[in-house]
């Protein structure tokens, strides 16, 4: 089958690989119809993880079930399914408590498992014609009959819509409260969309790209451009000097050579400074353990210059981590089904699998207009 394969830093190709197949009785085999490129893929694409050459990308997957293992009895051939990026077992202590992003069975002792990811288990990605889904009864969300009509909305349930929602949950956002979202990438935009749906009073979105800030405005948020103002001053001015009730960090580690030496930690300090005393901050941006190639010694060692004193004096709470996608998926699917949520609004490109190499390059460069790419392997 064809798949998007990692060959080395900033080098991917669409190559022939062995067909995905049922390996265990609990597996489900899915023919992919949509599979997104994510900002998280860039950590591997840019070459600062242990992702091995030859591995397949893709953790934002949706498709049709083509085969089920002998121990699968809920999911059926022909079902249209979206696959949470976390690979969970459903029966370990963490999965039982809803922390499927920290499954103890699929990737013991570390930070849970995902498809097509470094350090998150051996599972191959879905930027391919087919995908093996372990513990298929648990890991497939079977979609309603409008699955195909709303495919571009439902595919966002695999990661970025629940992740954006998670950012607002970690921050403790309640109706009528204000929130500042750092990053207008797909994740930040989904945090803003979630905040609007939850009834936030004011949503500020901070970035430095016109196309992404325009999308933030179209979702009902106030765009804040770091090229034109100091975002903290601007947010304090717009909240009578008090700061927002909540902050969401949706940037994470950014490659130093492209986004400035301080990009690695500045958003955390901005979030503390622009959030009111005793407010909450949700951090879903991924701070990768280390970047050996970084020019900055802190980034090289996976550390950052976080102003703990300011955070402590403000008595704030910070919560972090991978989204436990399954914990939100059914409710978010209902929001899509009823038309209350339309995460597909941020899609900029729908492309064939063969077009993945140039799509990676444009998305990694943050080229104007390249906000969110959905690959269509069956097209
Ligand atoms: P992205 O890289 O497209 O978006 C990041 C955005 O941050 C870009 O628009 C960039 O211009 C902006 N940015 C960079 N420096 C900034 C700064 N100093 N101030 C404000 N904005 C700045 O990626 P994405 O898909 O939106 O993902 C964002 C982050 O979320 C990544 O770290 C990704 O790995 C992470 N993520 C986490 C989870 C999770 O479960 N926690 C899931 C998906 C993605
Ligand atoms: Zn993702």
Which residue has a Cα nearest atom 26 of ligand 1?
A: 185
Which residue has a Cα nearest atom 19 of ligand 1?
A: 207
- Determine contact, residues 66/30, Cβ cutoff 8 Å: yes
- Determine contact, residues 128/57, Cβ cutoff 8 Å: no
Same domain, 33 and 147: yes
Question: What DSSP designation does 379 have?
Answer: -
Same domain, 61 and 204: no
String of DSSP letters for 113-162: -BTT-TTS-SPPPSSBSEEEETTHHHH-EE--TTTTTTHHHHGGGGTHHH
pLDDT in tens, 342-377: 999 999 999 999 999 999 999 999 999 999 999 999
Ligand 1 pocket (Cβ < 6 Å) reads 38-40, 42-43, 159-160, 163, 182-188, 206-209, 212, 226, 250-252, 254, 259, 263, 266-267, 284-286, 322-323, 366
Tokens of 47: 């070459």
86-110 in b/e form (b: 16+ CB < 10 A) is: bbbbeebebbeeebbbbbbbbbeee
Ligand nearest to the CA of 126: 2
254 compared with 212, residue with greater pLDDT: 212
Same domain, 164 and 152: no
48: confidence class by pLDDT, cuts 50, 70, 90 = confident
Same domain, 155 and 35: yes
What is the chain's percent helix, strand, coil content, to nearest 5?
30, 20, 45
Whole-prediction pTM value? 0.97
Which residue has a Cα nearest atom 18 of ligand 1?
A: 263
pLDDT in tens, 314-325: 999 999 999 999
Of how many residues is the chain composed?
A: 379
- Determine contact, residues 267/183, Cβ cutoff 8 Å: yes
Ligand nearest to the CA of 260: 1
String of DSSP letters for 21-89: ---STT-EEEEEEEEEE-HHHHHHHTT-S-PPTTPBP--SEEEEEEEE-TT--SS-TT-EEEE-SB---
Per the structure, the count of domains in the chain is: 2
256: confidence class by pLDDT, cuts 50, 70, 90 = low
pLDDT in tens, 117-137: 998 999 999 999 999 999 999
Same domain, 115 and 182: no
Give me ligand 1 centre to Cα 344, in Å.
18
263: confidence class by pLDDT, cuts 50, 70, 90 = low
Q: How far is CA 32 from CA 8, 14, 92, 131, 250, in A?
A: 25, 15, 28, 7, 27
Tokens of 134: 């372990």
Give the per-residue pLDDT at 33: 98
Give the per-residue pLDDT at 108: 82
pLDDT in tens, 267-319: 999 999 999 999 999 999 998 767 777 766 666 776 778 899 999 999 999 99
Give me ligand 2 centre to Cα 321, in Å.
13
Percent of the chain scoring above 90 in pLDDT: 87
Same domain, 151 and 176: no
Mean confidence (pLDDT) of the chain: 94
Which residue has a Cα nearest atom 30 of ligand 1?
A: 285
Give me ligand 1 centre to Cα 122, in Å.
24
Ligand 1 atom closest to the CA of 186, numbered from 1? 26
Give me ligand 1 centre to Cα 167, in Å.
12
Ligand 1 atom closest to the CA of 262, numbered from 1? 18
Same domain, 15 and 32: yes
Give me ligand 2 centre to Cα 36, in Å.
8
Same domain, 183 and 107: no
User: Residue 262 above 60 pLDDT?
Assistant: no
Same domain, 47 and 140: yes
pLDDT in tens, 76-105: 999 999 999 999 999 999 999 999 999 999
Same domain, 140 and 8: yes
Ligand nearest to the CA of 346: 1
Same domain, 261 and 354: no
Average pLDDT value for residue range 172-197:
98
Ligand nearest to the CA of 127: 2
User: Residue 66 above 80 pLDDT?
Assistant: yes
Give dist(CA 216, CA 168) in Å, integer: 16
Of 297, 320, 343, the domain-final residue? 320
Give the per-residue pLDDT at 308: 94
Q: Which of 251, 256, 305 to mutate to test the pocket of ligand 1 (most atoms within 8 A of CB)?
A: 251
- CATH number of the domain that residue 188 is part of: 3.40.50.720
Of 279, 298, 320, the domain-final residue? 320
Same domain, 166 and 314: yes
* Structural domain span for residue 341: 2-159+329-376
- CATH number of the domain that residue 7 is part of: 3.90.180.10
Tokens of 308: 């703990």
User: Residue 62 above 90 pLDDT?
Assistant: yes
Give the per-residue pLDDT at 306: 87
């Amino acid at each position: 089958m064809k798949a998007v394969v990692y060959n080395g830093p900033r080098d991917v190709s669409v190559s022939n690989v062995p067909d995905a197949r049922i390996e265990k009785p609990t597996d489900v085999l899915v023919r992919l119809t949509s599979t997104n490129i994510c900002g998280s893929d860039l950590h591997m694409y840019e070459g600062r993880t242990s992702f091995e050459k030859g591995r397949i990308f893709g953790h934002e997957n949706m498709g049709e079930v083509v085969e089920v293992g002998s121990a699968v009895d809920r999911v059926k051939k022909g079902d249209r399914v979206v696959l949470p990026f976390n690979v969970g077992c459903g029966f370990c202590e963490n999965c039982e408590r809803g922390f499927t992003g920290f499954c103890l069975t699929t990737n013991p002792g570390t930070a849970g498992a995902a498809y097509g990811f470094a350090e998150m288990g051996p599972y191959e990605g879905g930027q391919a014609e087919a995908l093996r889904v372990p513990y298929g009864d648990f890991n497939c969300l079977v979609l309603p009959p409008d699955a195909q009509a709303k495919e571009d909305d439902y595919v966002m349930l695999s990661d970025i819509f629940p992740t954006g929602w998670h950012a607002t949950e970690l921050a403790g956002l309640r109706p009528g409260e204000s929130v500042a979202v750092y990053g207008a990438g797909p994740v930040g935009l989904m945090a803003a969309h979630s905040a609007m749906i939850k009834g936030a009073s004011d949503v500020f979105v901070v970035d430095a790209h016109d196309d992404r800030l325009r999308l933030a405005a179209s979702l009902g948020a106030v765009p804040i451009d770091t090229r034109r103002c100091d975002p903290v001053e601007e947010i304090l001015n717009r909240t009578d000097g008090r700061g927002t009730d909540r902050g969401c960090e949706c940037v994470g580690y950014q490659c130093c050579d492209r986004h400035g030496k301080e990009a690695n930690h500045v958003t955390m300090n901005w979030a503390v400074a622009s959030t009111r005393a005793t407010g909450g901050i949700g951090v879903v941006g991924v701070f990768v353990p280390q970047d050996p190639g970084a020019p900055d010694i802190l980034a090289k060692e996976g550390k950052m210059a976080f102003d703990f004193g300011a955070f402590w004096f403000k008595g704030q709470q910070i919560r972090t981590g991978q989204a436990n996608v399954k914990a939100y998926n059914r409710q978010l699917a209902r929001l899509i089904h009823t038309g209350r949520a339309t995460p597909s609004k941020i899609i900029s490109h729908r492309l064939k699998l063969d077009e993945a190499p140039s799509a990676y390059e444009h998305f990694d460069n943050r080229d104007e207009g390249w906000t969110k790419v959905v690959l269509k392997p069956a097209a």
